[in-house]
Amino acid sequence: MGRQSLALLRQLEAACTSADDLAEAAVEAFGAHADAEIITSFPGLGPLSGARVLAEIGDDRTRFADARGLKAYAGSAPVTRASGKTVSVAARRVKNQRLAGVGYMWAFSAMAHSDGARAHYDRRREAGDRHTAAQRNLFNRMIGCLHHCLTHRVPLSEAVAFPTSREPRLALAA
């Protein structure tokens, strides 16, 4: 049993070393990419999670005509079904699971590193959304901002992405 345990520990050590080497190579390759600076300007996206986002959306800017297409691909945009008098809004089930997975981690991490992202999440919670729905809404907002920033080749401006003051809307005269 002792020898078997040592053999299993050696295999685990080799797997951990290989995983670390792969992560290091991914970070190095991501850092050399032209979009790396824009992607890592987002709160909550580091080199490894940014590499995952870039790998899943690709670097072909014509792939998604607008932000709606990217949001649907990522699974952050809700699906609205209307029939007669009933309307249902549900989470999208058909999506890129790897991008959706990193999106939830991205949104969770962004809430800790960005006051604007945290305020957006808190507003959604106060509006009655559960944690997962509010987090998905934040991811939806941020993936839309990512599409804009990559299309226009600008880093994220948190003041534009999460404005703090809202201008009062004028009421329409009846």
Tens-binned pLDDT, residue by residue, of the chain (174 aa) = 999 999 999 999 999 999 999 999 999 999 999 999 999 999 999 999 999 999 999 989 899 999 999 999 999 998 889 988 999 988 888 899 999 999 999 999 999 999 999 999 999 999 999 999 999 999 999 999 999 999 999 999 998 999 876 655 555 554
What tokens appear for 110 in the block? 């962004």
Q: What is the pLDDT of residues 20-37, one digit of tens each?
A: 999 999 999 999 999 999
Q: What is the pTM of this model?
A: 0.85
Q: What is the pLDDT of residues 135-150, one digit of tens each?
A: 999 999 999 999 999 9
| Cα 82 to Cα 17, 69, 78, 128, 137, distances in angstroms | 52, 20, 13, 22, 21
**Residue 37 and residue 47 in contact, taking contact as beta carbons nearer than 8 Å:** no
Q: So what's the pLDDT on residue 61?
A: 87
Q: So what's the pLDDT on residue 168?
A: 54
